[in-house]
Amino acid sequence: MEIPYRSEVPKEQTWDLTRIFKTEADWEAAFKAVKQEVKALPALEDGFTESAAVLYDRLTQIFAVDRRLSKIYVYASMASDVDTSNQKKLALNSRGQSLAAEYQAAVAFIQPAILALGKEGLDAFFKEEPRLENYRHYLEQIVKQEEHVLPAEEEKLVSAAGDALSASANTFNVLTNSDLQFPYIEDEDGEAVELTEANYDILIQSQNREVREDAFDALYAVYGQFASTFASTLAGNVKAHNFDAQTHHYQDALAAALSENNIPVDVYNQLLTSVHKHLDLLHRYVNLREEILDLKGDLQMWDMYVPITGKPSLSYTFAEAKAQAREALQVLGEDYVKHVDYLFNNRCIDHVANMHKQSGAYSGGAYDTDAYELLNWQGDLDSLYTLVHETGHSVHSMYTRENQPYVYGDYPIFVAEIASTTNENLLTNYFLDRVTDPKTRAFLLNYYLSSFKGTVYRQTQFAEFEKFIHESDQAGEALTADYLCGFYDRLNQQYYGPAISLGSDIGLEWARIPHFYYNFYVYQYATGFAAATALANKITYGSQEDKEKYLDFLKSGSSDYPINIMQKAGVDMTKSDYLEDAFKVFAERLDEFTDLIKKL
């Protein structure tokens, strides 16, 4: 199937960004106005904390600029993402990023000023000016970071270096989304198809083993040609993270990344420990795959994604998927479904996979825009799960913006992944509570097991790799392509066990993972999925109070630290119980699948 160019995608199948800015001229006018506002912000430093009223007024002025800037940034980013070959849109995106960096530099004085005021001074201000209560959590977060904030001039210098420090990540994005050229291969019908990151996920699930192997080899042959370049971009990004951590007096980059949201490092390490403890379950699942596929002694990495219950029997048009998602999410109540309906019926979702479109999927937007979703629709069960996942993010955003002021109108990734994967688990519960046909049930169970493998085990593998490369760089090790491939190969063998044959190019996989540029991001997929397992079971099988607690969580934004928000929702993520509960569900469903598959 030919992949359309952006200009060939019907308008009604694209998202409507004109609700953010009607024309690019409107964007330009807003950009020009906000640029002037940003230039005026440093003048607010003088006397910033001379009184509680002044502090309130100036914070309010700064957040108003930030609010207008967020629309500019989001529009430019989203306009570029749907066609990364469009140089004009790329230029808009670059200018949006630069303006955001200018803004960060312009307001770098805030933290040092609040720290100079101190906790006692801040407490006095709260009593003096009741309106400051709106900023209490924001200000207390700053005071909590006291030992990691530099003097004002030094913070300005570090903020001004933001563009340079993000250059490696930008180079990776342009290289992977625009410059890499993948070959044509034959699909299982003997038709020549151009390989892309989007259709690779389909081809690697083909029932024809030769197609799977060809797709795998062709993909990694291209990445292999640029292995040293990708090692350089990844190393540059790691060095940027370590520089920032060292500059701000953190023990390491991991502590720095988790510090912003007050996530204990133990939560990260506890995940690695718990997953290692239960690698035997993953090895069981891999061994079962080897047995079912009749590949004793020859199970390869390109065999890890083919459904082991045969050719997928579940496929969906986009309209069918929206109807199925809506039905599965009814359990969350009428108001939640109203939010889903708005997303589905108002061109908030850009679902067609077109040439040069950002790969994967995401939910985006700003406080004063709709929530939007970028997808690359393939029409399979995975596409349906991606839709409910991103819709989980989007409704989370909608509830947050409706219930929180701008200062708390977003949410950290740590809780974001819980909202999205709770939807995935609700869809799984919906299916497994209703489907009785043995073949379909086996397919759904395997889909869940494969998803768990990909979300908990695989993302933890990524998290372990990410920790390793940051520690290696910090220790002075050169992050060459050979060094990265060697460790990744060993890690892959440890996770998947002895059934996987050695010798494939899987050691290169690190080169194509965009999340390694996000600064200790991926572990939150694993913790989020595990927590979501507990929440979804409470929503599906628990009380009305459980549902209300969950909706309150979605409305919380960043008004408290993530660990506290989750405790109120009913999951304590400082303890390993939620992880053990998740592995228990995985084990139970693995047992059921093992018994069922033997009867088919």
Active site residues: 390
- Listing DSSP states for 299-327 in one string gives B-GGGSSS-TTSS---B--HHHHHHHHHH
CA distance linking residue 265 with residue 279, whole number of Å? 22
CA distance linking residue 444 with residue 309, whole number of Å? 9
- With CA atoms as reference, report the closest residue to 17 among 325, 312, 364: 364
- With CA atoms as reference, report the closest residue to 573 among 467, 370, 417, 469: 417
Residue found under tokens 């990691």:
148
In this structure, are residues 109 and 48 in contact, taking their beta carbons and an 8 Å threshold?
yes
In this structure, are residues 399 and 547 in contact, taking their beta carbons and an 8 Å threshold?
no
Cβ-based burial of 558 (10 A; exposed 0-12, middle 13-18, buried ≥19): buried
CA distance linking residue 51 with residue 127, whole number of Å? 12
CA distance linking residue 195 with residue 583, whole number of Å? 35
CA of 215: how far to CAs of 194, 209, 346, 507, in Å? 10, 10, 36, 16
- With CA atoms as reference, report the closest residue to 532 among 416, 379, 381, 380: 416
Taking each helix axis from N to C terminus, what angle separates 577-599 and 523-541, rounded to the nearest 10 degrees? 80
Kindly state the tokens that stand for 248. Answer: 């701000």
In this structure, are residues 79 and 85 in contact, taking their beta carbons and an 8 Å threshold?
no
Instruction: List residues bridging with 192 in a β-sheet.
Output: 186
For the chain, give the longest Cα–Cα distance: 76
If you ran DSSP here, which 8-state letter would residue 183 be given?
Answer: P
| CB-based burial, 328-366: b 16+ in 10 Å, e otherwise | bbebbeeebbebbeebbeebbbbbbbbbbbbbebebbbb
CB atoms within 10 A of CB 73: 21
CA of 142: how far to CAs of 226, 284, 359, 510, in Å? 42, 47, 36, 35
In this structure, are residues 105 and 42 in contact, taking their beta carbons and an 8 Å threshold?
no
Kindly state the tokens that stand for 493. Answer: 């063998």
In this structure, are residues 97 and 166 in contact, taking their beta carbons and an 8 Å threshold?
yes
Residue found under tokens 């393939």:
378
Q: How many residues does the chain have?
A: 600
